[in-house]
Amino acid sequence: MEQKTKYLKVKLVLGCFTLAVGFLAANLALFHWVERTGLYYLLGEFARYVCAYGGFGAMIFGAMLINDFLNLRSSMAKRPTVKPLKVKGAYQKILAKTAWLLAEDLKKSSITYHEITTLYNLEKEEEEIVVAQQQLITPENTEIPSELNA
């Protein structure tokens, strides 16, 4: 737990520092940049734009680190400690009776194995009759035999 707390503090410090550097770099590039004559920058005329975009990137990265800190802090605070469930005798009897009543209701409404196999066999016979009817009907003889109409 102590290591996680230290990790959160590092995220917060790094996020604040990165955000501040980003603000300074973007502010410098956008408002206080002075073109000097006779001075050559590493990236030439693009140095101002690189500084501005780098500052924006640093601001976004710093804000993400601070957001991680806030989310992880709140999730660590909400995480409950695992405690054994203490159930009193009367409450336990009520739970057991409710479970028994539910089981009895399920027994009343459940289908037995014999009923399931009977339904399966009926469906299978109906499929066989449909297949037989389709085989007997040909383009020349479209009438269904009287034996199958029953």
Q: Confidence band (pLDDT; 50, 70, 90) for 56?
A: very high
Kindly report the pTM of this predicted structure.
Answer: 0.46
Rounded CA-CA distance 60/68 in Å is 12
pLDDT digits (tens, 9 = 90+) for 100-129: 777 777 666 666 666 666 766 777 787 788
Which of 52-66, 89-103, 112-126 shows the highest mean pLDDT? 52-66
Residue 121's pLDDT is what? Answer: 73
- Higher per-residue pLDDT: 141 or 124: 124
- Asked if residue 29 lies in contact with residue 49, where contact means CB atoms within 8 angstroms, the answer is yes
Residue 88's pLDDT is what? Answer: 65
Residue 75's pLDDT is what? Answer: 74
Task: Name the average pLDDT for the chain.
Answer: 76
- Higher per-residue pLDDT: 24 or 150: 24
Q: Confidence band (pLDDT; 50, 70, 90) for 146?
A: low
User: At residue 41, does pLDDT exceed 80?
Assistant: no
State the CB neighbour count (10 A cutoff) for residue 66. Answer: 17
- Asked if residue 62 lies in contact with residue 17, where contact means CB atoms within 8 angstroms, the answer is yes
Angstrom CA distances, 84 to 11, 46, 81, 87, stand at 34, 64, 10, 9
Residue 132's pLDDT is what? Answer: 78
- Asked if residue 62 lies in contact with residue 26, where contact means CB atoms within 8 angstroms, the answer is no
